Amino acid sequence: FLLDKIGITYEEKLNDKEKAAETYRRILDIIPDHLPTIRTLARLYARLNRWEDLIKMCEIEAELIKDQIQIVSLLHKIGETYEEHLKNIDEAVRYYKKALMISPNYLPVLKSLGNIYLYQERYEELIDMYKREIEVTRNQPHNISLYHKIAQIYEDKLNMPERAISVYEEVLLLDNYNLPALNALKNIYLKLKTYDRYIDILLREVELVTDVMQKAYIYYQVGDIYINRLRNFNKGIEFLKKSLAI
């Protein structure tokens, strides 16, 4: 097209992006479904900070193409534009959810929605995003980090310690000696006065520590709990002796 060449001249030779966009817009007036022009306009509108016009181009492209992943990517881009540039969180969430209706496990959208839910303190929905992200991600350290976040939400925000315990146990299935999970479980069991389970965690910690003084102190703690909390003097004395023997 002659108009295409004019548009290129405005953009690349004269550095007049507004005139270039106006020229490409005239092409769309003639051929409304011309994808190369739609994509060029989207790029120009982004550089010109014309966010509503960028959204319009993305919507037109999403209606024209058949590739589901490309459509999801465009819906995510629209959501990001609403969120980051137009500060319209409701519209951003609407488009992110439209993307997930097509591809429920599309990771970039799960992360974007998760960030919004975290900011809005919508904790149940945030947990759902984290769980779906875990299903998609094959990276074990990353998934363990997400499990920790879920457990902390249950414990600190939703006051659901039993749910938190269940999630920390999931962590320990992936990593038997995950120290942050063990410490978190220990704190929860102590708060709940579930002393037998608290002792179980202490004895798992013994296997992790190499310092003899730390081992001795853990055995002392176990003995003290048996004597003063569980009133099991025989067990208590057994572990106090272990503490002294180290």
pTM of this prediction?
Answer: 0.85
* Region for residue 103 given its phi and psi (left: phi exceeds 0; alpha: psi -120 to 50; beta: otherwise): beta
Q: What pLDDT band is residue 138 in, cutting at 50, 70 and 90?
A: confident
- Share above pLDDT 90 across residues of the chain, in percent, rounded to a whole number: 91
Q: Taking the CA atoms of 200, 203, 205 and 208 in sequence, report the sign of the dihedral they define.
A: negative
Write down the pLDDT at residue 246.
84
Structure token digits, residue 53: 């016009």
Query: Are the CB atoms for 17 and 42 separated by under 8 Å?
Result: no
**What is the Cα–Cα distance from 53 to 24, expressed in whole angstroms?**
13
Write down the pLDDT at residue 164.
98
Query: Are the CB atoms for 243 and 220 separated by under 8 Å?
Result: yes
- Nearest partner of 232 among 223, 242, 221, judged by Cα: 223
Write down the pLDDT at residue 14.
87
**What is the Cα–Cα distance from 111 to 237, expressed in whole angstroms?**
52
Q: What mean pLDDT is predicted for residues 123-127?
A: 98
**What is the Cα–Cα distance from 113 to 37, expressed in whole angstroms?**
31
Is the pLDDT at 243 greater than 80? The verdict is yes
Is the pLDDT at 11 greater than 80? The verdict is yes
Q: What mean pLDDT is predicted for residues 82-108?
A: 97
- Share above pLDDT 70 across residues of the chain, in percent, rounded to a whole number: 100
Structure token digits, residue 68: 């589901």
Q: What mean pLDDT is predicted for residues 164-172?
A: 97
Write down the pLDDT at residue 52.
98
Write down the pLDDT at residue 150.
98
Is the pLDDT at 1 greater than 80? The verdict is no
Q: What mean pLDDT is predicted for residues 157-182?
A: 96
Q: What mean pLDDT is predicted for residues 50-59?
A: 98
Write down the pLDDT at residue 151.
98
- Nearest partner of 42 among 62, 28, 21, judged by Cα: 21
- Nearest partner of 21 among 32, 37, 33, 36, judged by Cα: 37
Token pair 């939400």: residue = 153
